Homo-oligomer: A and B are copies of this chain.
Amino acid sequence: MKIALAQLNYHIGNFEANTQKIIRTAQDAAKQHADLVIFAEMAVCGYPPRDFLEFDDFITRTEQAIAEIAESCFDIPVILGAPVRNTGSKGKALYNAAIFLHEGKQQIFRKALLPDYDVFDEYRYFEPAQAFDCLSFKGKKVAVTICEDLWNISENPLYFNQPMESLILEKPDFIVNIAASPFDYRQAAVREEVLQNNVRKYKIPLIYVNHVGAQTELLFDGGSMVISENAEVHKRMDFFKEGLTIFNLETDFSKPKSVLELPSKMELIHQALVMGIRNYFEKLGFKKAILGLSGGLDSALTMALAAEALGAENVFAVLMPSQFSSDHSIKDAVDLAKNLGSPYETIAIEPLYKSFKTQLEPLFSGKPDDVTEENIQARARGLLLMAISNKFGYILLNTSNKSEAAVGYGTLYGDMNGGISVLGDVYKTEAFELARHINKDREIIPENTIVKPPSAELRPVQKDSDSLPDYAILDAILYAYIEQRKGPETIIGEGFDEKTVRRVLRLVNQNEYKRHQTPPILRVSPKAFGMGRKMPIVAKYLI
């Protein structure tokens, strides 16, 4: 039996594009004599469709798309993911389903385990399945499962149910798992381990088909695979690329496997961010980006990634020096733009700053300068960037990193502006590593940008380390609190300075209001700010 794995990039709600892509790929698989072609979870409507699922019209369009696919793929059997209606009198309105389409008939397999943690909220929409049957097809029995259905095999299972325990009783020949499993830098390894553990337990081959492509903040890395009954990954599709692979279950397992090692953390993050930027622009129908280039690490890194994603000629850099900008900052920024071959312009902000000071003079008279004046500079820059963005139809890239976003070291409506945040899930210490990784073959990001002490340059001889702990310490505390959800006592117990820990945690919680208004952040870690971290704003925990 020849199985085609279709690893595709879908566009949420773009039924026409998704349908045509599915039909084209299925026909391609048919030409290659596949017996079955498998598409990912929720392929028809894209994932995550979120509250569009509450619109009857959205479900109707999904059904129409499925009908069109069924008609166009009469001859090639298809498994694909889509929401289907719950026709019973109880429970939520929908199921998350895998649909087997063949010769005009539809057979439905429902998802039982609905993830509702981090970025997932599937129980918001779907009723969990309670009954399970295998697919019988060309003399084979197939255990058709959907993503989380296979993830309940730890010693402390999150769900009481375990669909494979029912399905295995029918003695299936292999498992199919269609997924929408988003990327983070450790997910490829975790995912492989979980799937292999299933094979170790149930001792039949497994075919896994994932999404690829970015859906705003959620990045899907693909990595669809075939695991042999002895739990070896025999075939793995490319990360971050669309593709169609045909695997012959009878003959290909006896051929030598060719599975590359998992890429390094920085290589994964690099590819993920480039895809994230590229897809954000493509799916919105935009070509060009703009960003403020300060000469510092974060904007340099953002620009290098954007140039790779969109083409250097499509990234417009604006240098906006003030009286506090150092000469090397301007030089470093210009060097980067020249290295990349991107257009850039310089606009001084001092006249703007002075205008604001003049207009505010009657109100502010006698008050000493403070953070207000720093914010005016950051906001004047933000305003200039948005004006250019509006005038030319460019999208502004946000350049804040995760460490800054965490402690609120940034100006709301200033440098926190943007359509998408490229580095908002990359700690400052990781940003250095990523810059080194990008520079591994040649100097793209100027060396001086990487080695000089980080500074916002909003007042004379300012350095980040004046107001924040060293980034190595800050990031370690942030990781313990944000990724690991450790409390202050635990973190202090690990040897960090008590005062620093309490201050950092207070800053994180106090600045929830800022993060509430930031752009979506490309998610690369197991716990990113954004849809996967839901916090109260007006609270008093650790504050």
Contacts from A to B (Cβ < 8 Å): 11-14, 17, 46, 48-52, 54-58, 60, 89-92, 116-117, 121, 123-124, 155-160, 214-216, 279-280, 283-284, 345, 347-349, 351-352, 354-356, 358-360, 362-364, 367, 370-372, 375-376, 379-380, 382-384, 386-388, 390-391, 412-413, 417, 419, 485-490, 513, 516-520, 531, 533-543
Q: In the complex the two chains form, is A387's CB within 8 Å of B375's CB?
A: yes
The residue in chain B whose Cβ has the minimal distance to the Cβ of A56 is B487
Q: In the complex the two chains form, is B51's CB within 8 Å of A534's CB?
A: yes
Closest-CB distance, A323 to chain B (whole angstroms): 15
Q: How far is it, in angstroms, between the C-alpha of A155 and the C-alpha of B89 when the chains are bound?
A: 8
Q: In the complex the two chains form, is A519's CB within 8 Å of B520's CB?
A: no
Query: Assembly of this chain: how many copies?
Result: 2
The residue in chain B whose Cβ has the minimal distance to the Cβ of A532 is B51
Q: How far is it, in angstroms, between the C-alpha of A417 and the C-alpha of B383 when the chains are bound?
A: 13
Which residue in B155, B158, B367 is a CB contact (below 8 Å) of A91?
B158
Given contacts A52-B535, A216-B536, 4 further A-B contacts (CB under 8 A): A52-B536, A52-B539, A280-B538, A351-B358
Closest-CB distance, A404 to chain B (whole angstroms): 17
Residues of B within 8 A of A51 (CB): 533-535
Closest-CB distance, A313 to chain B (whole angstroms): 17
Closest-CB distance, A212 to chain B (whole angstroms): 15
Q: In the complex the two chains form, is A384's CB within 8 Å of B372's CB?
A: no
Take A92-B158, A158-B91, A513-B419 as given contacts and tell me if A541 and B413 are in contact as well, using a CB distance cutoff of 8 Å.
no
Q: In the complex the two chains form, is B417's CB within 8 Å of A391's CB?
A: no
Query: Considering residues A121, A372, A379, which has the most beta carbons from chain B within 10 angstroms of its beta carbon?
Result: A379
The residue in chain B whose Cβ has the minimal distance to the Cβ of A162 is B90
Q: In the complex the two chains form, is B390's CB within 8 Å of A386's CB?
A: no
Q: How far is it, in angstroms, between the C-alpha of A222 and the C-alpha of B376 when the chains are bound?
A: 42
Q: How far is it, in angstroms, between the C-alpha of A89 and the C-alpha of B14 when the chains are bound?
A: 42
Q: In the complex the two chains form, is B49's CB within 8 Å of A536's CB?
A: yes
Closest-CB distance, A368 to chain B (whole angstroms): 10
Take A215-B536, A541-B12 as given contacts and tell me if A356 and B121 are in contact as well, using a CB distance cutoff of 8 Å.
no
Q: How far is it, in angstroms, between the C-alpha of A360 and the C-alpha of B215 when the chains are bound?
A: 34
Q: In the complex the two chains form, is B413's CB within 8 Å of A391's CB?
A: no
A-B contact pairs, 26 of them (CB 8 A): A12-B536, A13-B539, A14-B539, A17-B540, A51-B533, A54-B485, A55-B486, A56-B486, A56-B487, A57-B489, A60-B487, A89-B155, A90-B157, A91-B159, A91-B160, A216-B536, A216-B537, A216-B538, A347-B359, A348-B359, A352-B352, A352-B359, A371-B390, A379-B386, A386-B412, A413-B413
